[in-house]
């Protein structure tokens, strides 16, 4: 390799952990002569791709950034007054730098290991408190994917609550005409498959009767009008229905809350709390409701509990934690859900406080009012009697306005009905409002001579109805009132960050979740204004850069999966499952086979699979797995034949959730096709496929990709993520549409390309690794897993391997025997790993009582060795309990994790030493990570459910 080639492949060497010497040593440990041999032994020959992937060659990080600058310049950042759920916002620099651009925050995993997640759990509790306060409802979850899906989730929750039995007695849902178009489109997609009938109308003249289970309204509505819904809500309640209100947190700083108006659920987007528009996302949606509905709520709920020392500790509340764990009994499939963006929004509220937020809202409102007054002087009247930030016009020629506005680099929102609206936001300056007036003056070819001046705002009254002026308090908790100076704010975020173990501390070997490197060069452009500042509904000609990236990335992903078309719309893997199953459903329907609604799902599947299936109205039939962890082909065949007249699909994960490349996968796909079904492949394990095999080659018809697993988007503590789907020609006509793209059929997200701005990360990943790099990544993921397996199987039983005794990119360690022999459970091992400085692998999925380890290609041998050393040392500790050398209950495993307070306390009453507790191996002394709380008590918190910040005084000093 000459020096110039070496430069181009630089990123491959940075992304992939093991170097040449590591590789040699690891192969020797495994007993393989070469990487090729290991891969040949692991991946069945029948499904191997023989050709190199048709992807571009690798470029260096420097080359990538220079090239991307050119692409970015094709995006034109105009002043956006479009609104419709996306607003200009000012991300406080202190939050941008310390959260958004900080791997300590964005590389975190979902907070299942509560003891090393107290920072983000506290921040998410702040989010819940902020949402509960502003919406006036007692319970809020910790974020959903976007406003439109949040509205659909609310509809579904209310539907299932009212129609508790199988017999749907109240199928109708009233949808007010004036909700955002994209929200309506997602409601349409989600309603019909589960038997909901949408009825559109004007809330002022609907007769809601006993056939309605509920209604949805928007406040302020899609035209910006602020209406009083109290009597409508009473009417729906009187008929036994429930009411969902879509709302805007910033407007609620001035307006009576939905809770006070009587709403049962309030949903919306927290985007304008400091999160850039990013051409559609990622942003956190919120969902708040009455106490009665907490068990049916989608998403995750953070709650307050105590730890083993009796100290306050946070964790995900309620045993079910997330809906999809209920599998086919679930009513929602939300898994990955924008945690990082919820944290940013919460920090925005912490930074500004109630008064600061109200000032921001007031400034926007007064500027909006002055624009209305200025236009009125020109003889242009807008329609909203009361409004917050949006003016709506029907009496002016929108085509002429659009042409003139674009001359001034300004975008308004133009409706299909010929009306248009202007929405102001936090970034709108007094100067901007004068430009808006100038646009209309130029059109009218006259001047009012009137200029809006900042000085004129002091005593202006709100253009809001007296009856809807907010009187209740919000954000009164201390946390929203003390972090005002930048120093304090910076330290608060750092304090929380320090409590959390993320990838900048040590490897996070979560099986099925692929916590690989999120390279800085992949991340940096996400903050560029050319990508952050674009409104998703801005004219396409202003988004040339995004168009190019969307097109190229879609092609790359189709190539990698062996398919022909791709939709980048779904915001998570689970949304991808839903969207993919919809394409199958539409395909059958188009062939007059709408009765094909049975979906076969192996017992080992992730919980989102059955949850997504029931959401598209499919009936789940479970397929067994055999002793070796493979799909029981006989059982699959029997069931496929039994249901051959109604078989819709198979959902299958490959390599299996057990970490094995099943030899029979092609036969399995064939059996399904022979019986009239199609094959959905859950692509969560694509990190074992890229470049070696593909879903298309294997025989699947559609798959989703978790870009936040295989393609380097960081997990953000539980989101963002992206779950694009790739399909073959049969299914291509049914991919999700969007009004912006001309047809909204099967729309699953609010924005046409979901969380568009983070597509950049996966785009960078593929560009910089290139065709051979992405394949190498797969090979090294398999090498790393097999190396760890080789080291650990001398001490633990490893479940399920392929026919040559190799694993794929992950493997399962069985901890069940220790329950019998030592009273030690999988959870004890998981918590003990914290003392060794590691996040536990995936716990009890897909097999209870086990851990699943997935190292990824990004970890080098030294890190893998540290983890293996920790596991081996833990094995010794277990043996000591087995032999009676250690106490059965008072031992380092049962008491794990050990906090600093416990280890440094005056008293130490345990039969093992403090050093054994906290510094069990030498490497730990070099990089000690202290958990901020001891083992968290889950049941205590569920018995005393608290899901908002409690009064500070309720926890005395321990
Ligand atoms: C992660 C995962 C999912 C869900 O994906 P999200 O992006 O979290 O919605 C589905 N199936 C499997 C096997 C997974 O590992």
pLDDT tens by residue, 468-500? 999 999 999 999 999 999 999 999 999 999 999
Summarize pLDDT for 839-861 with one digit per residue, the tens: 999 999 999 999 999 999 999 99
Summarize pLDDT for 221-254 with one digit per residue, the tens: 999 999 999 999 999 999 999 999 999 999 999 9
Cα(236) to centroid of ligand 1, in Å?
Answer: 37
Cα(285) to centroid of ligand 1, in Å?
Answer: 19
The DSSP element (H or E) to which 870 belongs, if any, is helix 861-883
Atom of ligand 1 nearest to the CA of 709: 1
Instruction: Tell me which of 332, 336, 608, 610 to substitute to probe ligand 1's pocket, judged by most ligand atoms within 8 Å of the beta carbon.
Output: 608
Q: Whose CA is nearest to atom 8 of ligand 1?
A: 336
Contact present, 738 and 182 (Cβ < 8 Å): yes
Tell me what the mean pLDDT of segment 1-25 comes to: 91
All domains of the chain, ordered by start, with CATH?
Answer: 111-349 (3.40.640.10), 563-755 (3.40.640.10), 784-943 (3.90.1150.10)
Contact present, 22 and 860 (Cβ < 8 Å): yes
Tell me what the mean pLDDT of segment 148-171 comes to: 93
Cα(294) to centroid of ligand 1, in Å?
Answer: 23
Cα(299) to centroid of ligand 1, in Å?
Answer: 14
Q: Give CA–CA dist 958/956, Å, rounded.
A: 6
Q: Give CA–CA dist 148/223, Å, rounded.
A: 17
pLDDT reported for residue 954:
44
pLDDT reported for residue 325:
83
Summarize pLDDT for 902-916 with one digit per residue, the tens: 999 999 999 999 999
pLDDT reported for residue 447:
77
Q: Whose CA is nearest to atom 2 of ligand 1?
A: 684
Instruction: Tell me which of 149, 282, 323, 335 to substitute to probe ligand 1's pocket, judged by most ligand atoms within 8 Å of the beta carbon.
Output: 335
Tell me what the mean pLDDT of segment 206-230 comes to: 95
Cα(606) to centroid of ligand 1, in Å?
Answer: 7
Please enumerate in sequence order all residues whose Cβ is within 8 A of that of 86, keeping only pairs 6 or more positions apart, or say none. 80, 269, 271, 277, 280, 535, 536, 537, 751
Ligand 1 pocket (Cβ < 6 Å) reads 335-336, 512-513, 572-574, 606, 608, 653, 657, 682, 684, 706, 721, 723
Judged against a pLDDT cut of 80, whether residue 731 lies above it is answered with yes
Q: Which residue has the tokens 């709520």?
A: 297
> For 56-164, where are the E strands, in sequence order?
79-81, 139-140
How many CB atoms are located within 10 Å of the residue 715 CB? 27
Q: Whose CA is nearest to atom 15 of ligand 1?
A: 512
- Tokens, residue 174: 């009233």
Instruction: Tell me which of 333, 512, 809, 845 to substitute to probe ligand 1's pocket, judged by most ligand atoms within 8 Å of the beta carbon.
Output: 512
pLDDT reported for residue 952:
61
The pLDDT-based confidence of 956 (bands split at 50, 70, 90) is very low
pLDDT reported for residue 957:
40
CA angle 490, 496, 499 (to 5 degrees): 140
Contact present, 499 and 116 (Cβ < 8 Å): yes
The pLDDT-based confidence of 951 (bands split at 50, 70, 90) is confident
The pLDDT-based confidence of 335 (bands split at 50, 70, 90) is very high
Average pLDDT value over all residues in the chain: 96
Cα(608) to centroid of ligand 1, in Å?
Answer: 7
Q: Give CA–CA dist 229/263, Å, rounded.
A: 9
Summarize pLDDT for 782-839 with one digit per residue, the tens: 999 999 999 999 999 999 888 899 999 999 999 999 999 999 999 999 999 999 999 9
CA proximity to 593, closest of 583, 604, 585, 603: 585
Summarize pLDDT for 603-644 with one digit per residue, the tens: 999 999 999 999 999 999 999 998 888 899 999 999 999 999
Cα(607) to centroid of ligand 1, in Å?
Answer: 8
Tell me what the mean pLDDT of segment 668-678 comes to: 98
Pure H helices in 446-508: 479-482, 486-498
Q: Give CA–CA dist 652/843, Å, rounded.
A: 21
Summarize pLDDT for 557-584 with one digit per residue, the tens: 999 999 999 999 999 999 999 999 999 9
- Angle, nearest 10°, between helix axes 398-407 and 430-444? 130
pTM, entire model: 0.97
pLDDT reported for residue 321:
64
The pLDDT-based confidence of 522 (bands split at 50, 70, 90) is very high
Judged against a pLDDT cut of 80, whether residue 925 lies above it is answered with yes
Judged against a pLDDT cut of 90, whether residue 167 lies above it is answered with no
Cα(505) to centroid of ligand 1, in Å?
Answer: 24
pLDDT reported for residue 320:
52
Q: Whose CA is nearest to atom 3 of ligand 1?
A: 573
Judged against a pLDDT cut of 90, whether residue 337 lies above it is answered with yes
Cα(49) to centroid of ligand 1, in Å?
Answer: 25
Atom of ligand 1 nearest to the CA of 682: 11
CA dihedral 240, 246, 251, 252 (to 10 degrees): 40
CA dihedral 92, 97, 103, 107 (to 10 degrees): 10
Summarize pLDDT for 174-190 with one digit per residue, the tens: 999 999 999 999 999 99
Cα(412) to centroid of ligand 1, in Å?
Answer: 38
Q: Which residue has the tokens 């001579």?
A: 449
pLDDT reported for residue 458:
65
The pLDDT-based confidence of 459 (bands split at 50, 70, 90) is low
DSSP class of residue 542 equals G
Q: Whose CA is nearest to atom 5 of ligand 1?
A: 573
Judged against a pLDDT cut of 80, whether residue 448 lies above it is answered with no
The DSSP element (H or E) to which 674 belongs, if any, is helix 665-674
Please enumerate in sequence order all residues whose Cβ is within 8 A of that of 445, keeping only pairs 6 or more positions apart, or say none. none
pLDDT reported for residue 318:
81
The pLDDT-based confidence of 958 (bands split at 50, 70, 90) is very low
Summarize pLDDT for 306-317 with one digit per residue, the tens: 999 999 999 999
């Amino acid at each position: 390799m000459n020096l110039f080639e070496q430069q181009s492949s630089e990123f491959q060497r940075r992304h992939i952990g093991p170097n040449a010497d590591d590789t040699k040593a690891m192969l020797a440990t495994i007993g393989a002569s070469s990487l090729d041999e290991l891969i040949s032994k692991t991946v069945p020959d029948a499904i191997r791709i023989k050709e190199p992937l048709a992807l571009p060659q690798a470029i260096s990080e420097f080359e990538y950034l220079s090239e991307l600058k050119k692409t970015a310049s094709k995006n034109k950042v105009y002043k956006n007054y479009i609104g419709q759920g996306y607003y200009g916002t000012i991300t406080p620099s202190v939050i941008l730098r310390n959260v958004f651009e900080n791997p300590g925050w964005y590389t975190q995993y979902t907070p299942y290991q509560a003891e090393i997640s107290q920072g983000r759990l506290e921040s998410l509790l702040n989010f819940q408190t902020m949402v509960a306060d502003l919406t006036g409802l007692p319970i809020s979850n910790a974020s959903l994917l976007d406003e439109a899906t949040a509205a659909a989730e609310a509809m579904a929750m209310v539907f299932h609550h009212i129609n508790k039995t199988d017999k749907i007695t109240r199928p109708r849902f009233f949808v007010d005409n004036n909700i955002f178009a994209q929200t309506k489109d997602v409601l349409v997609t989600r309603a019909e498959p589960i038997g909901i009938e949408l009825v559109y109308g004007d809330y002022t003249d609907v007769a809601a009767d006993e056939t309605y289970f509920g209604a949805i309204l928007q406040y302020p509505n899609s035209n910006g009008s602020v209406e009083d819904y109290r009597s409508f809500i009473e009417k729906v309640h009187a008929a036994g229905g429930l009411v969902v209100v879509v709302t805007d947190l910033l407007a609620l700083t001035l307006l009576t809350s939905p809770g006070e108006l009587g709403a049962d659920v309030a949903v919306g987007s927290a985007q304008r709390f400091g999160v850039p528009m990013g051409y559609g996302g990622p942003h956190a949606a919120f969902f708040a409701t009455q106490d009665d509905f907490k068990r049916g709520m989608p998403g995750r709920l953070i709650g307050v509990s105590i730890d083993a020392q009796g100290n306050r500790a946070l964790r995900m509340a309620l045993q079910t934690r997330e809906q999809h764990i209920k599998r086919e009994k679930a009513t929602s499939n939300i898994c990955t859900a924008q945690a990082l963006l919820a944290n940013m929004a919460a920090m925005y509220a912490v930074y500004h406080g109630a008064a600061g937020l109200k000032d921001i809202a007031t400034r926007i409102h007064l500027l909006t009012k002055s624009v209305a007054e200025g236009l009125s002087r020109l003889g242009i009247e807008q329609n909203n009697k009361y409004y917050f930030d949006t003016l709506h016009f029907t009496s002016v020629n929108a085509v002429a306005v659009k042409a003139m506005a674009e001359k001034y680099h300004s975008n308004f929102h133009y409706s299909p009905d010929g009306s248009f609206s202007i929405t102001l936001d936090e970034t709108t300056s007094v100067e901007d409002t004068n430009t808006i007036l100038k646009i209309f003056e130029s059109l009218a070819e006259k001047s009012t001579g009137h200029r809006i001046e900042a000085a004129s705002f002091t005593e202006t009254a709100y253009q809001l109805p007296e009856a809807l002026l907010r009187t209740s308090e919000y954000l009164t908790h201390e946390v929203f009132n003390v972090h005002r100076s930048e120093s304090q704010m910076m330290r608060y975020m750092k304090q929380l960050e320090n409590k959390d173990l993320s990838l900048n501390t040590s490897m996070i070997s979560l099986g099925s979740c692929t916590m690989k490197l999120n390279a800085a060069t992949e991340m940096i452009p996400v903050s560029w204004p050319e990508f952050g500042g674009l409104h998703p509904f801005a004219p396409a000609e202003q988004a040339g850069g995004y168009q190019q990236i969307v097109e190229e990335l879609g092609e790359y992903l189709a190539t990698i999966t062996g398919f022909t078309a791709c939709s980048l719309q779904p915001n998570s893997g689970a949304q991808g499952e839903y969207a993919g199953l919809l394409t199958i459903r539409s395909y059958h329907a188009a062939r007059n086979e709408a009765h094909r609604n049975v979906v076969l799902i192996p017992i080992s599947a992730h919980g989102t699979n059955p949850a997504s299936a029931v959401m598209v109205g499919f009936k789940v039939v479970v397929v067994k797995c055999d002793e070796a962890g493979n799909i029981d082909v006989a059982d699959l065949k029997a069931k496929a034949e039994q249901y051959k007249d109604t078989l819709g699909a198979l959902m299958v994960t490959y390599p299996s959730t057990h970490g094995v490349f099943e030899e029979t996968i092609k036969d399995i796909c064939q059996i399904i096709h022979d019986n009239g079904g199609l094959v959905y492949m859950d692509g969560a394990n694509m990190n074992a496929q890229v470049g070696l095999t593909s879903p298309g080659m294997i025989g699947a018809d559609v798959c989703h990709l978790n870009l936040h697993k295989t393609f380097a988007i960081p997990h953000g503590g539980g989101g963002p993520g992206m779950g694009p789907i790739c399909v073959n020609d049969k299914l291509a006509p049914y991919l999700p549409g969007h009004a912006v793209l001309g047809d909204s059929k099967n729309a699953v997200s609010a924005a046409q390309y979901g969380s568009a701005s983070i597509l950049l990360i996966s785009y960078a990943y593929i560009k910089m690794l290139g065709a051979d790099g992405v394949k190498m990544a797969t090979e090294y993921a398999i090498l790393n897993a097999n190396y760890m397996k080789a080291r650990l199987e001398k001490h633990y039983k490893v479940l399920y391997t392929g026919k040559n005794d190799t694993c794929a990119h992950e493997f399962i360690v069985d901890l069940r025997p220790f329950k019998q022999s030592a009273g030690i459970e999988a959870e004890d091992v998981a918590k003990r790993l914290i003392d060794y400085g590691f996040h536990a692998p995936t716990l009890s999925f897909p097999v209870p009582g086990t851990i699943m380890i997935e190292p990824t290609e990004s970890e080098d041998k030294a890190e893998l060795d540290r983890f293996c050393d920790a596991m081996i040392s833990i094995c010794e500790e277990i043996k000591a309990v087995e032999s009676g050398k250690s106490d059965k209950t008072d031992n380092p495993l049962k008491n794990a994790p050990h906090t600093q307070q416990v280890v440094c306390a005056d008293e130490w009453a345990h039969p093992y030493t403090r050093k054994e507790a906290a510094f069990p191996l030498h490497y730990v002394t070099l990089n000690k990570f202290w958990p901020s709380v001891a083992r968290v008590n889950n049941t205590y918190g569920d018995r005393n459910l608290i899901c908002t910040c409690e009064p500070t005084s309720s926890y005395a000093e321990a």
